[in-house]
Each structure stands twice: as C-alpha cells, then as structure tokens.
Structure 1
C-alpha cells in the first residue's frame, strides 16, 4: 500500500488470488402491532377496545370511543405508560441498504459543504469517510446524514499504545460534534489483517479495544458502532462459498476482534470487489456473473445453493468463514464495493458501461432489501466505492476511476442516482419503523387513547 493511502486509511483493493478451481459460468389492527415483549399488553388493549366497541381500534379513534367503559380504557393506558419498552431508541448506524464512501485523495473535488448538498439531492443517507477531517465534520452538522469516520492505518499504533490516546482522539474528533453531526460509526484501520504491514496486526486488536473503552467512558458505546473493514485477503479460500475459512495464521488476531464485535453486536465488514476477482482471471470468470447480468451462475456443491452473481457469493463466503470460526449470529456488511469506469490496458472490463451496469444493478439489488442465498432473511447493506474519481490516488489507473460523480458534481454515468428515494425520514422525525422497532408505538397509542378519554364526548 502506498504511503499516501496508508495515511488516508483507504483501501488499496489488492487483487485477490483465486483459491480453488474456477468454473466457466456461463383485517384489523392486531396485524399492525409490533412483535415485541409488550405484545401481550397490546393484544389485551386491542381486545378491550375492539370487543367492547364492536369494531377495530381504527373505528374507535373515529368515534366509537364512547362505547368503551372509560375506567377500562384508562386502565389500559396506565398499563402501557407504566411499563416502558426495554431500552431506549438506539441510533441506527446504517439506514436502509445503500451508502457511499467519500474519499478525498484529489485536488479537484467539491468542498465538503457542496458534497453535503450533493448527497441530499441524491438521497444518499449513509456516508463513510477515511479520516476525521474537521471540515467534513463541520459540513455535516445539521444535515441529518449518517456519518462513519475513521482512524486511519497510520494512527493504529498510536491508538494501541494507551487508552488515554484513544480518549484524546475521541474528545477531539467525536464528542465536540455530537449530536449536531450524526457520527454513527468509527472504523479502526482498513484492510489491516492480511495486509503487507504485519507490524499492525496486534496493534489493531489493542487499538479497537482502547477505542471501545473510550466510547464506554463517554457513554457512547451504544450510540456509535465500532468496526474494522477486512479485505478478501483474510480468507484462505472463497470457492465454493461454503468452504470459505479464515487464514489460520490470522486467527490469533481475528478471534479477539470477533469476540469483541460479537459482545457489542457489531457487524463483520468486508470489502467485496467482484471487479477485482474478474480482472484477475477474465478467461475463467463470466463477466455477466460479476455484473449481475443474466447468466447460468454457479451451484455450491456443499449446500446446493444457486448463485447468479458473485457479490452474493462473496458475502456468503464471509458468512461461511464466520460459521467455521464459531460466530453464526454475526451480520456481514460490505464496507466497499464498486467497479472502475476506466483502467490500464491489462485491467479487463474497465469501462463506463460496465461500471454503470454494476452500480445500477447493485443499487437495484440493495433497494430490494433482500438477503443472500445462505441468509435470505438478512438484507444486505453496502457502502459503494466511491463518491468521486480521485485523481491523486496512487496505483493502477482504475484506482482513480471508481466515482459515481465527476469533480463538478455531474454524474459519471446514469444509474438513476438523482432519483434515489430517501432511505429514511428526516433526522428530526421518528419513522414508524423506528417506533415499532423500539416498542414505542404502544406509548403513542396510549397517549392517543388517553386523549380520547379526557377530551372525548
């Protein structure tokens, strides 16, 4: 990894070696109530209202309230308000399924203020950066956008040295900006394990622990998600997906990280690039399989699961590795994925058309909120790489051509991004989904019913 990238903490997107053989792929309100620990109380309330009033609670609100004995209604309200739902409303680190990486190794991209304007116009709510630049943090104040900031690789050893250094970093880069800037996550390092600088392996583990302890001291451990993104280099093999395991030599460092993330319910983040897999062996990988286009796909011989795209296969490979290591319940999310619109002569498949196809199909797939063949009920969430082409990035030409937008803010290619639907309501509002998730809909219902009791006829 070049020095400039280490300082910024960005991915070098090393070409993954292909492990193993690669084939040629040619009625009433009860149904609306949340399934929470307060379900018994909600059913009791609905029974009280619907049976006494002879209608559902929708009818009750429209004028049947007088048919309900007022003392019984008051009792229901008291029960709902006296027994709150378990736990407060938590900050959602990732809203919806679509996010973007905002890299800035360039001298021709818009100012952070203009970037916030662009993100709002494009309805992109989840943003990840590779440092904690205060100009960016200031620009995001009051925007309502979810922001993940980073401790780059160059600071990992410093964070690992002692907990006080981590506290200093948090006090300088996080605490002063909350809550106006919605800092919902912190990444510690990027693609450290499996990387060339093995001197960072143990410091990464220590740094993550120190940062977490610092968040606890600031009472932010439940407000801010902590993670470290991994490259495909942490896997010993990835084909078929069910056979994927972590490299044995990395387990002394991977296991304590996974233990901590399992305890604090942080996902496993992986940088997933079908593009890199394809350009490393274009003769044996069907580009349609990599681009989400119609193809025969593959069948995992161990699970009989069919995969019609490489993106899903790479995610399920990560799930298989977690399963083999004993972390079945950990969610896999994608920290980076994308396709270069231009590249060197030896970088097969780099074109604006392929980049548009991959990103268009990926966006459509993420907005469907569906899972993978192995985890069909767990929607996939991913940060796209990247917001802009970065003209000062080192490495092959493709490294400078991942952007969805040109430096002047125009789209690089049309994937319908200007017409994206918001993945969440305004930050000043509680969405119905969040209310239901926290069990708070019962309290809102109780307040409505209590108002009917007091002010009703």
Structure 2
C-alpha cells in the first residue's frame, strides 16, 4: 500500500544552508501535512522554534562545534540555555540537545578534549534549571569513529578515540541519553561500487551477508552498521546505551565520480527505509528494538560546500515538490507575502487598529493575519 504521509515514527533533518528555503511558518505546514512529528535542527533557530509552537512536533536542537569551547564554561552554558532554549520550552517540545556534530571527524584535538566537558556542563545546567527530565544531552558521531564495522559482531572504535569515547559512554549510561550516529551506506557504495552490491545498500532483495560469529543474516548495510556500533559500545563495557541514527540518506544527484547518486536510487533507499521504520523493524542483533532514524534531509540545500551530492540530499525542493517519488505528497502553503512586504503589513496593521471601531477594520485585519501566517 502506498504511504500517503511519512508517519510519526520517522524523524527528519531540517538543515538550512540555503538562500531559497520557505519560511519556517510554511515549513511547519509542510511537515504537519506529512504527519512528521520529529525534527532535528543543527542550531536553535528561534524562528523555527516559534513557527512550531503548539504543534506537538518534537525537536532535537544543536550546538555547533564552534560553541564547544564556550559550553565548557557553566556561566556561558547557563546563558545559552536561558536565552535559546528555556523561553521556547513552554510551547515547543525540545527534547534533546546535540552538543557538537561529528567532532571526531575533525582533527582538532582541542575540540576532542572539549566535547565531554561541554556535554557535562550543558547537562548540569539543565539539572540546575530543573529541565533535565525534559531535555536530554548527546552528540552526533560520524561512522568513521569505527575502525572495524564488519562483521558487525566485531565492531570496534578507533584506538585513538578510546580514552575520549570511554568518558562519553559513561556519560550516556549515567544520564540515559542515546548514542547518535550519522550513517551513510551511500559512501561505502560510492567508494567501492564494484565490491558493494547496490541492492544490499538500497534495502532491495539480495542474498545478504552472514556474520560468521553470530550466524545472523544481514540483508542491508545500514542495519549491519548499527549493530557494529552496538558491538563497539559493548566492547567498552556498556550494554545499557541505545544507538539511534541521527542522519542517513541518499543523494539524488552527484558529480561524475559520485557513482549511484541518482533520483531512482535515492527514492529506493529512502522509500524502503521508511517502510522498515513503519514496520518497526529491529536489527538482527536487536530485533526487539525498533530502529530510530532521522532521515537527511528535508530540503536540497543550495549553499552547502563540497561535491554536488552535498546539495542534493533533500526529499523536497524548496518549492515543496518532491525530488522523487517515495509515495508521499506534502502541502506547502503558497507564498502570498514576501518578507519584504512584512513592514508594510505592520504599518497597515497599525492603521487598522485605528479603524478598529468599524467592523471593516476587523475583517481586513483577519484577512491580513491569515495571509501573514504563510509569509
């Protein structure tokens, strides 16, 4: 059966590195029309948090790597939470803060050293403000924190990260927050298209592969990657931490050397993945734990640096039309007023307040307010 809406289980990454995206108010309509209720941001954009007030959409907000140094300072952490998080919490469901993104992908050792203290300081601040039951603290890792990812049963973290990850895993166990991974089977396929079977990475029917140590059969790469992370965590003495996928996706376009970046493949990857999420599938090693996944990304982002693929991960074009068919159709309200006319609307609004004694004033006011919502 074709899915008309994406459904409540799937999360979406809402990146904004672009100059042509619809306003957050319009995006909130699009996401609600798709029935998406979980959104991940890379910042704590107040415009987005306000636009989603009273909508029941759950947010993960982000502190970029550039904040880590400051967030090791309790006073700066408290200021940030009191200014950027607390004012929105009464009306917008913020459930998680990611402190840093793919920190160990950088080779900035100062950043590596600051990550755990920043996470701890942000968490302690939430405790002091009585918000720690409402908002959890974590960070998102790239998959290259693993030195071994296959077979999944021998998944292991890079040795140079051992001391850092040891502390981070203890933190997760203590505060009961999830371990987040950005995982892209697309990269494995692009790097070795002659070795990695396309159907295996796209969740299409294929022979699959067996883990010789557990005899578990894997019919797709993403689930093998998730179980490899569980094994790496277990090898460091933890079985009490949940792994979630903070990003995964597939580009619909790429440069000549970016093999497999097509709308057909992107549609298969995301469409097949959505079905597995809907069926609440678990991985072979954790069959009873439904996969928890945020798809990357909501829109194509035209100002992202790097190869062409980086600007083509979106499920939607900025005008709200799907980039490819995954059986869902959202509704993006038409743009009636551009932001340039907002000031005129404000002036008109003041003029109408002057007219408020007349019924005409009220009806014009209502009309304007209805229109402004979509600006």
Residue in 1 that maps onto 2:305:
394
Structure 2: unaligned runs, 5 residues or longer: 1-6, 332-375
Match 2:166 to one of 255, 269, 280? 255
Aligned length: 325
Is 2:55 aligned against 1:143? Answer: yes
CA contact (8 A) 1:97 1:380 kept: no
SS in 1 for 2:70: helix
Match 1:366 to one of 255, 266, 277? 277
Residue in 2 that maps onto 1:127:
39
Listed one character per residue, the Cα deviations across residues 263-302 of structure 1 (whole Å, up to 9, x for unaligned) are: 1111111011011111011110000000000111100111
Is 2:69 aligned against 1:188? Answer: no
Offset of 1:134 from its aligned partner?
1.1
CA contact (8 A) 1:102 1:387 kept: yes
SS in 2 for 1:209: helix
CA contact (8 A) 1:123 1:418 kept: no
CA contact (8 A) 2:74 2:125 kept: yes
Residue in 2 that maps onto 1:284:
195
Moved over 3 A (4+): none
SS in 2 for 1:316: helix
Listed one character per residue, the Cα deviations across residues 6-31 of structure 1 (whole Å, up to 9, x for unaligned) are: xxxxxxxxxxxxxxxxxxxxxxxxxx
Structure 1: unaligned runs, 5 residues or longer: 1-94, 421-457
Offset of 1:97 from its aligned partner?
3.2
Offset of 1:96 from its aligned partner?
5.2
Match 1:153 to one of 38, 58, 65? 65
Offset of 1:355 from its aligned partner?
0.3
Higher radius of gyration, 1 or 2: 1
Residue in 2 that maps onto 1:376:
287
State the structure with bigger RCO (CA 8 A, min sep 6), 1 or 2.
1
Cα RMSD, aligned residues only: 1.3
> Please, what TM-score do these two structures have when normalized by structure 2?
0.85
Match 2:144 to one of 230, 233, 237? 233
Residue in 2 that maps onto 1:103:
15
CA–CA separation in structure 2 for the residues paired with 1:132 and 1:119? 18
Listed one character per residue, the Cα deviations across residues 331-385 of structure 1 (whole Å, up to 9, x for unaligned) are: 1100000000000000000100000000000000111112110000111010000
CA–CA separation in structure 1 for the residues paired with 2:22 and 2:49? 15
SS in 2 for 1:199: helix
Is 2:229 aligned against 1:318? Answer: yes
CA–CA separation in structure 2 for the residues paired with 1:236 and 1:329? 22
CA–CA separation in structure 1 for the residues paired with 2:315 and 2:8? 19
CA contact (8 A) 1:98 1:383 kept: yes
Offset of 1:419 from its aligned partner?
7.8
CA contact (8 A) 2:123 2:136 kept: no
CA contact (8 A) 1:194 1:250 kept: no
Q: Describe how 1:9-158 pairs up with structure 2 within 5 A.
A: 97-158=9-70
CA contact (8 A) 2:40 2:60 kept: yes
CA–CA separation in structure 2 for the residues paired with 1:414 and 1:233? 31
CA contact (8 A) 1:97 1:379 kept: no
Is 2:156 aligned against 1:245? Answer: yes
Offset of 1:196 from its aligned partner?
2.5
Residue in 1 that maps onto 2:124:
213
